[in-house]
Structures are given as C-alpha cells and as structure tokens.
Amino acid sequence: MKLEAKLKELEELVKWQDQKLHGLNLPNDEKTRLIVALIDLGLEHERSIGKLAFNKYFGSVFALARPLFEAYIRAVWLGNCATQEEIETFKKGRIKKEFGELIEDIEKLPAYNVQVLSDIKAQSWSIMNDFTHGGILQALGRNSAEFIEPSYPEKNILGVIDFAVSVGLFLTMQVAYIVNDETFAKEVLEKMLAFSGKGP
C-alpha cells in the first residue's frame, strides 16, 4: 500500500475514533482521569503522525513512535497494575520502575500474556530511541545522494504509520474497557482484525 492510501486509512480511523469517543460519559475519579489523560495524549500522537506524514515531516513522524507507545503502556499499567502508592508516586512526576518492568507487570495479566508488548520493545525500542533522540538512524534518513533532506525508505514510513494505527486501536480499546461497553469493544476488535488482514 502506498503512502497516500495508508494516510487515508489512518484518517478514516481517526474519524471513526472521534465519533465513538466524543461525548462519552467517563468515570470522574482521579485515577481514571490520569489514565484517560494518557490515552488522550497517545491518540493525539497517533493523529499527529498522520498530519506530519501528510506534510512530509517524516523525521518527526518517527520521533513520535516512542512517546505514542509510552503513553499506551503507562495508561495500561496505571489502570491495571499500579498500586495506590505507585499512583501517588506517578502524581509526583516519577515512576520507580523501568519501562521494561511496566511491560512485565502488564504481561502478567491474562489479557496481555501473549508477550506482544515485550516483543515490540525487544525488536523496536533501540530504534525508537534513536529516532526520538536524534541518533544515527535519523541522520541517515536525512541524507539523499545529493542533499541533506528527508530520504526515509517508504516501507519504513508505512511501517510507522501501521504502528500508529495499531497503538491507536489499542488505546481506543482501553476506553471501551473503562466505560465497560462490550459493543464498543467488539467494534474495536473488528477494526483490529480488519487492519491486520484477518477481518471481513
């Protein structure tokens, strides 16, 4: 799939998310507000990746992959794993566990024990860090044969947009869990299966 079609796919997903998420009646307790704030941040990164890619700001597209993934992991961890003491520590601007430990905690849960998240971290974390912090991959991606300009392989751009779509759907599923809406959750699952090529 070419970039234009991939961006159209992301645009359609964002429209659908907006329709589903607008006006939802969410619990108003402090913990839920923290979790939903992180979900909202992640969804903003998802949308930003699409807007930046449309405008060919590909370096920034790649730079957002890590914070998108981090927002998702922290939202899931706070919602399902963190103790009250850990939530209080987070409110002070800290998490005492390493990022990998958050994933380990999450993957102890039955719904997450297939190790997809740890696989993503194992395969992509150093790459995400490089792109976020201006490492060699970012430098190489801005060198064409004659100029210093974005020169990222299209397959890599398509890959990071796929990643944004996937994590955006994961984030949307978290909202369905929070509002305890089985119909909404099934719709998100259908979107996931369709996106992965296993759906109708």
| pLDDT given at position 1 | 63
* Closest among 99, 97, 93 to 128, alpha carbons compared: 99
What pLDDT shows up at residue 62? Answer: 97
Mean pLDDT of the 40-47 span: 98
pTM score, whole prediction:
0.93
Q: How far apart are CA 34 and CA 31, in angstroms?
A: 5
Residue 133 in contact with residue 141, Cβ under 8 Å? no
Q: Quick check: 90 pLDDT over 80?
A: yes
Domain ranges of the chain: 3-23+31-195
- Answer yes or no: is pLDDT of 199 > 80: no
